[in-house]
């Protein structure tokens, strides 16, 4: 992969990943989408049939396969919480970008989301504490942190693009990392 996006649910990983891939002229992969395709069912159905532990096992297996591809990878909000995944994200030379958002922003964006089992099961207080619990894991592996509150997807994407150019992690001419 050329860039990996991490962050809590609703931070914009899927949205920004698509835009960034268009800007970099590389493919976009969404880990959740790959899981849905591999499992042949929605994440919500998978969670209710097999539970979160099985979901994490499948997520880890699919992450390993996806890392070999090129392009932008949008992870799921829980991906870096699995210790094996965290170690991969810490060790990789690929830039790992953390999208951050306040609990209020997250609730505004995904509070009514039907397809996110963890959002559906939790009260605002539980979601706030889950976000706080996860933050150290995200920070452990992030090369760049971006606060997405009150910022448009295009602005955020441009910031990542500029970061990649400025740190020589993307070349306009080659369209691949060097």
Ligand X SMILES: Nc1ncnc2c1ncn2[C@@H]1O[C@H](COP(=O)(O)OP(=O)(O)O)[C@@H](O)[C@H]1O
| Contact partner at residue 102 from ligand X, ligand S3P, Mg ion, none, CB < 5 to 8 Å by partner kind | none
Q: Does 156 bind ligand X (CB under 6 A)?
A: yes
**Least distance (Å) from ligand X to the CB of residue 87?**
22
14 binds Mg ion (CB under 5 A): yes
Neighbours of 50 (CB within 10 A): 14
CA dihedral 17, 49, 136, 160 (to 10 degrees): 0
| Calpha distance 56→78 (Å, rounded) | 8
Beta carbon nearer to ligand S3P, 33 or 92: 33
Point out which residues pair with 7 in neighbouring strands: 99
Locate 64 and state its tokens.
């390993």
Smallest distance from the beta carbon of 166 to ligand S3P, in angstroms? 27
**147 near Mg ion, rule: CB under 5 A:** no
DSSP string, 108-135: HHHTT-SS-HHHHH--HHHHHHHHHHHH
Binding site as annotated, residues: 10-15, 32, 56, 77, 116, 134, 151
Positions touching Mg ion (CB under 5 A) are 13-14
Which residues fall in the annotated binding site for ATP?
10-15, 116, 151
């Amino acid at each position: 992969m050329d860039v990996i996006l991490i962050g809590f649910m609703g931070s914009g990983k899927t949205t920004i990943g698509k835009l960034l891939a268009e800007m970099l002229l590389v493919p976009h992969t969404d880990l959740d989408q790959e899981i849905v395709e591999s499992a042949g069912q929605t994440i919500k159905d998978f969670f209710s049939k097999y539970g979160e532990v099985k979901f994490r096992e499948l997520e880890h297996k699919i992450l390993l396969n996806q890392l070999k591809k090129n392009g932008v990878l949008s992870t799921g909000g829980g991906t870096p919480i699995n210790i094996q995944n965290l170690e991969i994200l810490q060790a990789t030379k690929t830039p790992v970008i953390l999208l951050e958002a306040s609990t209020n922003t997250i609730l505004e964006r995904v509070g009514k989301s039907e397809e996110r089992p963890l959002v559906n099961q939790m009260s605002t207080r539980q979601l706030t504490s889950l976000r706080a619990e996860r933050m150290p894991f995200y920070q452990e592996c992030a090369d760049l942190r971006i606060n997405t509150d009150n910022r448009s997807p295009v602005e955020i994407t441009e910031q990542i693009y500029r970061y990649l150019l400025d740190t020589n992690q993307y070349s306009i001419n080659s369209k691949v990392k060097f």
